[in-house]
Amino acid sequence: MEPHRPEVTSPGRIASLYDDHHDRYVERTDHLVPPGRDSFLAAVPTYSTVLDLGCGPGRDLLAFADAGHAAIGVDVSAAMVATARDRLAGRPDCAAHLADLTALPLPDGSVDAVWSNGVVHHLSVDDLRTALREVRRVCRPGAPVHLLTRAGDVTGVAFGGRPADGGSVPGVLLWTPADFEAVLRDTGLVPTVTAVVADPVVADLEWLHAIATT
């Protein structure tokens, strides 16, 4: 099914939203371990270069760095990237970049594994396709890719999502497993597992955990 696309929040609006609500977001999410992160780390080879798409304030980057990996983050929010950079200070193999997911500032074939937690539902279908092609470009062959995005009974734009402090996010894209797998295949990735998992905090909120390889 081809979702409705025009209403998905623009990257600029998303950047402003997370800039404005940075402190509250960090307070509410910094202690959480997202679904699938432990299984992702278990799948990543030792001493890998790990890319976090939409790294936010660097919570997961720190976990990857502490596990012995070179952790590289990308995010559109300047405030989030600044915090991530502060947290990664003194770790020469780690970095956080202010950039859009559709134009990753990384060389071809430089990444061993990709993680993204709760980010790609902010992308339109076209932008998601572009971002996934960028993932293929920057990854070495066979790299594990773990993506957590919003799940829905049908694929399409939903309204009324809210960050922790109550600011409104007007449009996020919900995905069914079958439709998301189709996009992965269309962009050259090989899906291996697609599962719907419950949010660890918010009742009735479900995430799609898609695992693929490049």
CA distance 113 to 47: 11
Rounded to 5°, the CA angle 28-30-49 comes to 145
DSSP line for 182-206: HHHHHTT-EEEEEEEEE-SSSTT-E
Structural domain contains residue 6 = no
Q: pLDDT > 70: what percent of the chain? A: 84
The total of structural domains in the chain comes to: 1
Sign, CA dihedral 25-212-135-175, equals: negative
Lowest mean pLDDT among 22-36, 46-60, 63-77, 79-93: 22-36
pLDDT tens for each residue of 103-113:
999 999 999 99
CATH code at position 30: 3.40.50.150
Look at residue 1 and tell me if it is in a domain: no
Give the model confidence (pLDDT) of 18-34 as tens digits: 767 677 766 777 677 78
Domain-embedded: residue 138:
yes
Confidence grade of residue 13 (pLDDT, cut at 50, 70, 90): confident
> At residue 8, what is the residue type?
V
Closest CA to 188 of 139, 118, 125, 115: 139
| Element containing residue 120 per DSSP (H, E) | none
Q: Are 5 and 124 in contact (CB under 8 A)?
A: yes
pLDDT at 198 > cutoff 80: no
Residue 27: strand, helix, or coil: helix
Whole-prediction pTM: 0.87
4-13, 89-98, 109-118, 175-184: range with lowest mean pLDDT: 4-13
Give me the residue label for tokens 């719907």: 196
Closest by Cα among 97, 119, 95, 108 to 173: 119
Instruction: Determine the pLDDT at residue 138.
Output: 99
Q: What angle do CA 205, 81, 124 make, to 5 degrees?
A: 50
Please classify residue 50 by burial: count the beta carbons closer than 10 Å to its beta carbon, then call 0-12 exposed, 13-18 middle and 19+ buried. buried
Q: Which domain holds residue 189?
A: 11-205
What is the pLDDT of the chain when averaged over all its residues?
A: 86
Residue 4 lies in a domain: no
Residue 174 forms part of a structural domain: yes
Which stretches within 10-112 are classed as H helix? 11-20, 22-29, 37-43, 59-66, 78-87
| Domain assignment present for 210 | no
Alpha-carbon gap, residue 4 to 140, rounded angstroms: 33
